[in-house]
Structure formats: C-alpha cells, structure tokens
C-alpha cells in the first residue's frame, strides 16, 4: 500500500491519476492533494477519498473551501499557498509524490519532496528543464527514485530496463507533430487559438496542447531526457510519428532498437510510474494491431517549428538559458491564449529573450527564480 500526495489534482494528469487510485484501492491511499482555483472539484475529491490534507493556492478558492469544510465538519486539514505545497510534498506519512502541476510552481515542492526522501512520479516538465542538475543531484544524494510520467520518458524508462546504460547509443523521442504537422510558416500566420487546441491524439491541458502545436513540448522533453537518462543532446533524436502508437524508443550500440507501444491514454504511463517496480492489470484499452493500418515516421520541420531547435540550443548552452527559454515560453503561451500575440510570435519572442538576456550566472534555486522573473518582466515590457 502506497500513500500518495498529488501536487495538482484537478488537471489532466492529476484527474487520470485519481482514476487509477480509484480503481486500485488496495494499492493506494490518497493522503494529500493540491488544487489552484477549482474548489468545487476539490470538494468532490475530498468527499470521495477523504484525504488528510488539501492545499489550495488561490485565495479565492481557499475561503469557500474552508467554509464548506467547517460547515460540514470535514476533518481534512486545509493548507494554503507555497507553504502548503511544500508541506504535502514532504509529509512523513507519504511514500510517493506525483508532481503534475504545470509551470515553475512545481519546482520547489518537488525539491522539498526529494529532500524528504519521497519517490517522485514526475509529470512537471519545468522541474528538470530549469533545474535538472540540482534535482538529479538531490535525488542521488537522498536515494530517491524519479519515475517519469510523460508517455515518452516513461517509454524510454521501460526500454532501458534490464539493459546497461553504457550500451545505449541514442534515445529516440517520438512526436505526434501536433495539429499543424505539414504546414509551412505562411499557413500559420493567422491560426486561431481554437485550432491550436485541437490535438489529433492526446487530451491535455491548454498550455501543454499549445506547446505540442509549437513543438516546444518536445523541446522540453529533450532537456528532460538529458537529465533523466544522463545522456548528451547529440544522442537524443526527435522523430515525428503521427499515429502516437510508439511512445518512444531506445537504440543500442549494436543497432538494436527497443520500442514501447501502447494506447494513447496517459493512464498507462501514470499507472506504471505509481506501481513501479510492479505492473498491474490494464485499465486502458489494449492495442489491437489488426486495426493499425500503418506506422509512419518523418523528420521534424525545425524551420517552421523552431521552438524545438531553440530548446536544443538552450539545453546545449546550459547555465540559466533553459530557465530563460522556459519562462519566455510560459508567458508567450499565456499571451497567445489570451489573444495578445499571434501563434508565430511565440517562437520569435522566445528567441529574442534568449538572445538578449544573460544566462551564465551560477545555477542555484535563487538564481533560477530571479532569472525566471527577469525574463517574464522582459516580455511583459515588450508586449504590453
């Protein structure tokens, strides 16, 4: 039996993780979870799972949830803000922390959980993108397993099982290509938000879906893969695979390639991460190869979707450059979703931020947060 804490329980990953906990009641107890503003969903989760702790990060959601709990004599302890996130990430009674929030807010509680020797089911990309060196050192120091939840990294993790890392030749990350695969720059000048949110295969939150449309999502995964699997960027290849049946592959030095295949359902990698090192009975639809007409592959178009190229450049530059790139992307995606900039402006503004801001400062948690804030302000001053 594992006691689970979920940082970000009402998003896409958190909701699907709750479904796994719901179906595997003999394996998991939801000890704690966090929400941002969806207090009505928090009430549903409290009533179903009776967790010991809940953290809310939006004061406008905290007050009505507090009122509801008091009125109904609910014993769940209500916490608030970053202090609350750090608390539920490091509880003595918790065995594993699922970090599934989107954005920089996931970094600090993830580090708190690692220092408290909690295994991490990692779905927060930014944690490794901006602080991979710090996070992996802390994990090694504290004997913590970091189990990737992203379908691609989870696939690579599975493909590496039972093999020697020194036999690894390269990692092959697959990408669906997003909703605009095959289009050229001129065709993307006036795309609408609604178009960018129509992912062909996966059901995800808005931010990640836009990242998939720009291929920044794959760029973030490249940087994650570098830290998760201790490999060089030259040994990480991205290939577009529109069917999303092969979730990623590993090539070994003898030329053998091992791939992980499965349904395009995020509950599959979440279930594997939560149960590791064991496998449990499937709760997703299994593949039927008789219904798969073809599997195709192509190179990504780095000129049209240059966010992927920028991510490689940021990763190779090192220092605080990934922080600059990540912060710029978060701000630009938000601006695009609010109709303040165009789709192609996202990559252009990220590139300008990377060109203009310094990145050679020492990699510390404090400097990461300072550079993140500086980058956001740079873009706000430019665009608003």
Name the token pair of 173: 């990350």
**E-assigned strand segments in the chain:** 2-7, 28-35, 53-56, 77-80, 96-99, 119-122, 146-148, 168-175, 236-240, 246-252, 257-261
Q: Which residues pair with 54 in a beta bridge?
A: 33, 78
Output the pLDDT for position 202. Answer: 65
Angle at 92 between CA 27 and CA 279, to 5 degrees: 25
Q: Alpha-carbon distance 123 to 9, whole Å?
A: 12
- pLDDT (0 to 100) of residue 78: 97
Q: Return the closest-CA partner of residue 274 out of 108, 91, 29, 103.
A: 29
Q: How far apart are CA 373 and CA 164, in angstroms?
A: 41
Cβ atoms 287, 261 nearer than 8 A: yes
Please give the Cα distance from 257 to 262 (Å, whole number): 16
* Nearest to 98, CA basis, from 224, 236, 316, 272: 272
Pick the CATH number of 2-148 from 3.40.50.720, 3.40.50.970, 3.55.50.30, 3.40.50.10800: 3.40.50.720
pTM metric for this prediction: 0.94
Q: Span 318-384: which CATH code?
A: 1.10.1740.10
In the chain, where are the structural domains located? 2-148, 153-316, 318-384
User: What pLDDT, on the 0 to 100 scale, is given for residue 199?
Assistant: 77
Q: Which of 108, 59, 37, 103 is nearest to 376 (CA)?
A: 103
Sheet holding 119-122, edge to edge: 77-80, 53-56, 28-35, 2-7, 96-99, 119-122, 146-148
Tens of pLDDT along the chain (384 residues) come to 999 999 999 998 999 999 999 999 999 999 999 999 999 999 999 999 999 999 999 999 999 999 999 999 999 999 999 999 999 999 999 999 999 998 888 999 999 999 999 999 999 989 999 999 999 999 999 999 999 999 999 999 999 999 998 999 999 999 999 999 999 999 999 999 999 998 776 667 889 899 999 999 999 999 999 999 999 999 999 999 999 999 999 999 999 999 999 998 999 999 999 999 999 999 999 999 999 989 999 999 999 999 999 999 999 999 999 999 999 999 999 999 999 999 999 999 999 999 999 999 999 999 999 999 999 999 999 887
State how far the alpha carbon of 82 is from the alpha carbons of 90, 191, 299, 330, 382, in Å: 12, 36, 41, 19, 29
Pairing of strands 146-148, 28-35: unpaired
Strand pairing of 2-7 and 28-35? Answer: parallel
């Amino acid at each position: 039996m594992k006691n689970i804490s979920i940082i970000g329980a009402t998003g896409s990953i958190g909701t699907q993780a709750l479904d796994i906990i719901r179906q595997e009641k003999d394996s998991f107890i939801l000890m704690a979870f966090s929400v941002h503003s969806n207090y009505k969903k928090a009430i549903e989760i409290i009533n179903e799972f009776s967790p010991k702790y809940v953290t809310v990060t939006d004061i406008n959601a905290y007050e009505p949830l507090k009122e509801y709990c008091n009125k109904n004599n609910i014993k769940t302890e209500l916490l608030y803000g970053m202090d609350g996130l750090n608390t539920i990430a490091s509880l003595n009674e918790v065995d594993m922390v699922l970090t599934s929030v989107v954005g920089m807010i996931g970094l600090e509680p993830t580090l708190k959980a690692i220092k408290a020797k909690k295994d991490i089911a990692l779905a927060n990309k930014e944690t490794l993108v901006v602080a991979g060196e710090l996070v992996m050192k802390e994990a090694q120091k504290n004997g913590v397993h970091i189990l990737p939840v992203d379908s691609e990294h989870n696939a690579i993790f599975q493909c590496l099982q039972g093999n020697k890392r020194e036999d690894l030749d390269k990692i092959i990350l697959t990408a669906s290509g997003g909703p605009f695969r095959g289009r050229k720059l001129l065709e993307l000048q006036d795309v609408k938000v609604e178009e960018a949110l129509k992912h062909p295969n996966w059901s995800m939150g808005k931010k990640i879906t836009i990242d998939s449309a720009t291929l920044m999502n794959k760029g973030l995964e490249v940087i994650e893969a570098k830290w998760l699997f201790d490999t060089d960027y030259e040994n990480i290849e991205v290939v577009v695979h529109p069917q999303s049946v092969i979730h990623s592959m590993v090539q070994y030095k003898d030329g053998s390639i091992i791939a992980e295949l499965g349904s395009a359902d995020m509950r599959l990698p979440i279930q594997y991460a939560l149960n590791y090192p064991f496998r449990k009975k499937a709760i997703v639809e299994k593949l039927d190869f008789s219904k798969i007409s073809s599997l195709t592959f192509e190179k990504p178009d780095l000129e049209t979707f240059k966010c992927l190229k920028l991510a490689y450049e940021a990763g190779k530059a090192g220092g605080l450059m990934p922080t600059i790139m990540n912060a710029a992307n978060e701000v630009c995606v938000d601006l695009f979703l609010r109709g303040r900039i165009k789709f192609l402006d996202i990559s252009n503004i990220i590139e300008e931020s990377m060109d203009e801001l310094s990145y050679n400062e020492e990699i510390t948690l404090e400097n990461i947060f300072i550079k993140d804030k500086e980058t956001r302000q740079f873009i706000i001053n430019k665009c608003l």
